[in-house]
């Protein structure tokens, strides 16, 4: 005979089983473990030239310290950060000794902000500029783990320790395949420094930025540290054509190219009915350019009819200028549409209106970064489907279902109890 207690216990067990089956389960014992924390090493030039007082009325060293202190306050908790110096200890004239003057000021690991700030406060502009040895030391500091690794190099001058070429050092680091990126920042750089720092960054897939103010330095270093915590896709090389015919066909992803001053480059993207093409292009001014410039990103048919365009213009010194566009391809809606091509080739044109003084070399061209994405639209034309919005909605749905079942069962039990009581 089934008693009321047994029935209630059975119902509770059933509801518990339903809840367990619907709620997310922990990762199984054979699944891969979480990736290692990202690592960043800030590598700071502390050579004698950092005494110059030409950044916002203070010395370059003071500007760097101020920027570092503010960056350290905002480092994400999951980032392991270290600090390395170059030219911070030896102030003599012995070149061999000066070119070995690089050391780790703060070890790469979980950040103690107070300890790191105290270490930075002790720095005083001193010696040489051994960029090559510092890069080798920083790469060694970042060994281990499978998380992203990034060196952020801040200097106000070119390397003074040839023949160890820092650009070749960067190429050697990249050739090891350890996925280590070097980003470079030049404090009021001259042409030689700019060229060297651009070469270092380009060799490892990093970025070069020219800095004139403390805020620029702080914002850029913070951005790079934050990027290490949220790494972006490594761009793939793509060489645009002079016309759409014969242009490379790009899949969704991030691509790099070089474009000469006032040049047009073409790429192709295959867009299916019901998809939306989203594209953006950025061109970096990695050398001195004239005022008044612009960038055009244009989508057209293979026959030359313009579909949509995005443009941006600027005036004055810039490091990068960007533009973007979106093109939704209508889905097939009737039997008449079945005769139309299933896929449309969209021609993407990237153009620029940069110019430069006669003394500036135009070869190689300016760095271009092109991002392409294809997004499937909802099949029913709505903005978003209910399912697919994330596990949170499934969880909410499970709770609603459990509540409904519990209400129905409890109501049935209550009626059964009343019936039994009246019978007795």
Say which residues have a Cβ less than 8 Å from residue 241's Cβ, sequence separation at least 6: 247, 248, 265, 266, 267
pLDDT at residue 420, rounded to an integer: 59
pLDDT at residue 205, rounded to an integer: 79
pLDDT at residue 119, rounded to an integer: 96
Percent share of the chain, pLDDT over 70: 79
Say which residues have a Cβ less than 8 Å from residue 237's Cβ, sequence separation at least 6: 255, 256, 257
User: Cβ-count burial of 294 within 10 angstroms (0-12 exposed, 13-18 middle, 19+ buried)?
Assistant: middle
* Cα gap 352→278, rounded to integer Å: 20
pLDDT at residue 111, rounded to an integer: 95
pLDDT at residue 277, rounded to an integer: 92
Residue with tokens 């949170």: 392
Residue 236, both tokens: 């793939």
> Where does the pLDDT of residue 417 fall: very low under 50, low under 70, confident under 90, or very high at 90 and above?
low
CA atoms within 13 A on the CB side of 249: 7
Q: What b-and-e string marks burial along 23-38, b requiring 16 or more CB atoms within 10 Å of the CB?
A: eeeeeeeeeeeeeebb
Asked whether the beta carbons of 279 and 324 are under 8 A apart, the reply is yes
Task: Write out pLDDT tens, residues 167-190.
Answer: 999 989 887 877 799 999 999 999
Q: 281: how many CB neighbours lie within 10 A of its CB?
A: 30
Which one-letter DSSP state was computed for residue 230?
A: S
Say which residues have a Cβ less than 8 Å from residue 230's Cβ, sequence separation at least 6: none
Q: Which residue, among 222, 166, 223, has the nearest Cα to 192 in the 3D structure?
A: 166
pLDDT at residue 33, rounded to an integer: 52
Task: Write out pLDDT tens, residues 76-134.
Answer: 999 999 999 999 999 898 999 999 999 999 999 999 999 999 999 999 999 999 999 99
Percent share of the chain, pLDDT over 90: 52
CA atoms within 13 A on the CB side of 275: 18
Q: What predicted TM-score, i.e. pTM, was given to this entire model?
A: 0.54
* Cα gap 334→313, rounded to integer Å: 42
More confident residue, 129 or 336: 129
Q: 115: how many CB neighbours lie within 10 A of its CB?
A: 11
More confident residue, 279 or 35: 279
pLDDT at 6 over 60: no
The mean predicted confidence, pLDDT, of the chain is 83
pLDDT at residue 288, rounded to an integer: 83
More confident residue, 354 or 385: 354
* CA–CA–CA angle 168, 157, 176 (5° rounding): 20
> Where does the pLDDT of residue 53 fall: very low under 50, low under 70, confident under 90, or very high at 90 and above?
very high
- Domains of the chain, first to last: 39-229 (3.40.50.410), 236-376 (2.60.120.380)
What Å distances lie between residue 357 and 30, 284, 290, 360, 367, CA to CA?
61, 17, 7, 6, 18
Q: Which of 24-33, 138-147, 324-333 is the most confident on average?
A: 138-147
Q: Which residue, among 287, 292, 310, 309, has the nearest Cα to 363 in the 3D structure?
A: 287
pLDDT at residue 400, rounded to an integer: 61
* CA–CA–CA angle 369, 371, 375 (5° rounding): 180
pLDDT at 383 over 50: no
Asked whether the beta carbons of 128 and 158 are under 8 A apart, the reply is no
Say which residues have a Cβ less than 8 Å from residue 71's Cβ, sequence separation at least 6: 42, 218, 221, 222, 225
Q: Is 116 helix (H, G, I), strand (E, B) or coil?
A: helix
* Helix-helix angle 191-204:166-175, to 10 degrees: 10
Q: Which of 212-221, 323-332, 388-397, 413-422 is the most confident on average?
A: 212-221
């Amino acid at each position: 005979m089934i008693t009321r207690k047994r029935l209630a216990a059975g119902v509770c067990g059933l509801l518990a089983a339903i809840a367990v089956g619907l709620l997310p389960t922990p990762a199984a014992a054979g699944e891969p473990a979480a990736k290692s924390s990202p690592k960043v090493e800030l590598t700071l030039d502390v050579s004698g030239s950092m005494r110059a007082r030409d950044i916002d009325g203070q010395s370059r060293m003071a500007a760097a310290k101020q920027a570092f202190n503010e960056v350290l306050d905002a480092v994400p908790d999951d980032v392991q950060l270290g600090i390395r110096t170059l030219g911070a200890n030896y102030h003599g004239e012995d070149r061999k000794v000066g070119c070995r003057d690089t050391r780790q000021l703060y070890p790469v690991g979980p950040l103690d902000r107070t300890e790191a700030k105290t270490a930075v406060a002790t720095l005083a502009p001193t010696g040489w500029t051994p960029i090559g040895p510092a890069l080798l030391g920083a790469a060694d500091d970042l060994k281990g783990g499978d998380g992203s690794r990034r060196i952020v190099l801040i200097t106000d001058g070119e390397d003074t320790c040839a023949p160890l070429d820092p650009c070749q050092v960067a190429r050697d680091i990249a050739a090891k395949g350890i996925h280590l990126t070097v980003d470079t920042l030049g404090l009021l750089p001259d042409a030689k420094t700019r060229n060297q720092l651009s070469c270092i960054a380009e060799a490892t897939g990093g970025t070069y930025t020219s800095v004139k103010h403390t805020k620029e330095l702080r914002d850029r270093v913070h951005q790079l540290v934050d990027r290490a915590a949220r790494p972006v896709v490594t761009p793939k090389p793509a060489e645009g054509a002079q016309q759409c015919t014969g242009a490379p066909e790009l899949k969704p992803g991030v691509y790099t190219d070089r474009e000469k001053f006032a040049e047009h480059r073409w790429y192709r993207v295959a867009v299916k009915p019901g998809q939306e093409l989203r594209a953006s292009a950025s061109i970096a001014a990695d050398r001195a350019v004239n005022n008044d410039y612009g960038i055009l990103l244009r989508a057209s048919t293979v026959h030359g009819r313009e579909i949509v365009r995005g443009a941006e213009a600027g005036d004055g010194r810039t490091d990068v200028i960007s533009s973007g566009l979106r093109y939704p391809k209508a889905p097939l809606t009737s039997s008449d549409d079945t005769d139309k091509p299933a896929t449309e080739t969209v021609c993407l044109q990237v153009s620029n209106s940069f110019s430069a003084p006669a003394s500036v070399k135009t070869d190689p061209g300016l760095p271009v970064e092109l991002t392409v994405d294809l997004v499937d639209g909802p099949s029913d034309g709505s903005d978003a489907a209910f399912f697919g919005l994330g596990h949170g909605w499934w969880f909410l749905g499970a709770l609603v279902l459990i509540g409904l079942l519990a209400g129905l069962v409890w109501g049935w039990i209550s009626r059964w109890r009343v019936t039994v009581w009246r019978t007795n």
